[in-house]
Chain A
Amino acid sequence: MSTSEQLKKQKQYQQYVKKITPSHSLPLNMAKAFLTGGLICTFGQWILNTAASFGLDKETAGTWCSLILILFSVILTGLNIYPRIGKFGGAGSLVPITGFANSVAASAIEFQTEGQVFGIGCKIFTIAGPVILYGILSSWGLGIIYYTLKIMEVIS
Chain B
Amino acid sequence: MKPGIPYGAASIEFLQPVYIESAAAITGQKEGDGPLGNLFDMISQDPLFGAKTWEAAESTLQKETASLAIGKAGLSPSDIRMIFAGDLLAQTIASSFGIAETGIPYYGLYGACSTMGEALSLGAMAVAAGYGNHILCAASSHFATAEKEFRFPLGYGNQRPLSATWTVTGSGACVLGSTPPVSNPQKSADTMRFHNGCAVITGITTGKITDFGFKDSLNMGGCMAPAACSTIYQNLYDFGRTPEDYDAIFTGDLGMIGQQILLDLLSEKQIDIRNIHKDCGLMIYDNKTQDTHSGGSGCGCSASVLAASILPEVARGTWKRILFVPTGAMLSKVSYNEGASIPGIAHAVVIEHRDL
Contact B157 A93 (CB under 8 A): yes
Query: Which B residues, 123 to 169, have Cβ-Cβ distances below 8 Å to chain A?
Result: 148, 152-163
Q: How far is the CB of B304 from chain A (nearest CB, A)?
A: 25
Q: How far is the CB of A41 from chain B (nearest CB, A)?
A: 17
Contact B212 A10 (CB under 8 A): yes
A140 to B103, CA, bound (A): 58
Query: Which B residues, 299 to 336, have Cβ-Cβ distances below 8 Å to chain A?
Result: none
Contact B155 A82 (CB under 8 A): yes
Contact B212 A87 (CB under 8 A): no
A13 to B148, CA, bound (A): 30
B148's nearest neighbour on chain A, judged by CB, is A110
A21 to B259, CA, bound (A): 11
Contact B155 A106 (CB under 8 A): yes
Binary flags per residue of A1-42, CB closer than 8 Å to B gives 1, else 0? 000001101100110110011111000010000000000000
Binary flags per residue of A104-127, CB closer than 8 Å to B gives 1, else 0? 011101110100000000000011
Q: How far is the CB of B296 from chain A (nearest CB, A)?
A: 17
Greatest chain A CB density within 10 A among B54, B148, B157, B213 is at B157
Q: Which residues of B contact A62 (CB under 8 A)?
A: none
Q: How far is the CB of B229 from chain A (nearest CB, A)?
A: 11
Q: Which residues of A contact B160 (CB under 8 A)?
A: 87
A7's nearest neighbour on chain B, judged by CB, is B213
B257's nearest neighbour on chain A, judged by CB, is A21
Give the secondary structure class of B's interface.
loop
Q: Does B214 lie at the interface of the complex (its beta carbon under 8 Å from any beta carbon of A)?
A: yes
In the complex with contacts A20-B257, A21-B219, A110-B157 CB distance below 8 A: no
Q: Does B53 lie at the interface of the complex (its beta carbon under 8 Å from any beta carbon of A)?
A: yes
Contact A87 B159 (CB under 8 A): yes
Q: Does B288 lie at the interface of the complex (its beta carbon under 8 Å from any beta carbon of A)?
A: no
Contact A106 B261 (CB under 8 A): no
Q: Which residues of B contact A44 (CB under 8 A)?
A: none
Contact partner of A113 among B52, B152, B158, B216, CB < 8 A?
A: B52
Q: Which residues of B contact A87 (CB under 8 A)?
A: 157-160
Q: Which residues of A contact B219 (CB under 8 A)?
A: 17, 21
Contact B257 A17 (CB under 8 A): yes
Q: Which residues of B contact A127 (CB under 8 A)?
A: 152-153, 156
Contact A103 B162 (CB under 8 A): no
Q: Does B45 lie at the interface of the complex (its beta carbon under 8 Å from any beta carbon of A)?
A: no
A105 to B156, CA, bound (A): 8
Contact B157 A14 (CB under 8 A): no
Greatest chain A CB density within 10 A among B148, B156, B257 is at B156
A109 to B157, CA, bound (A): 14
Q: How far is the CB of A148 from chain B (nearest CB, A)?
A: 35
Contact B157 A94 (CB under 8 A): yes
Which residues of B come within 8 Å of A, CB atoms? 52-54, 148, 152-163, 212-214, 216, 219, 222, 226, 257, 260-261, 264
In the complex, 12 of the A-B residue pairs with CB atoms within 8 angstroms, ordered by the A residue number, are A10-B213, A13-B226, A20-B257, A21-B162, A21-B222, A22-B163, A29-B159, A85-B157, A87-B159, A87-B160, A93-B157, A103-B156
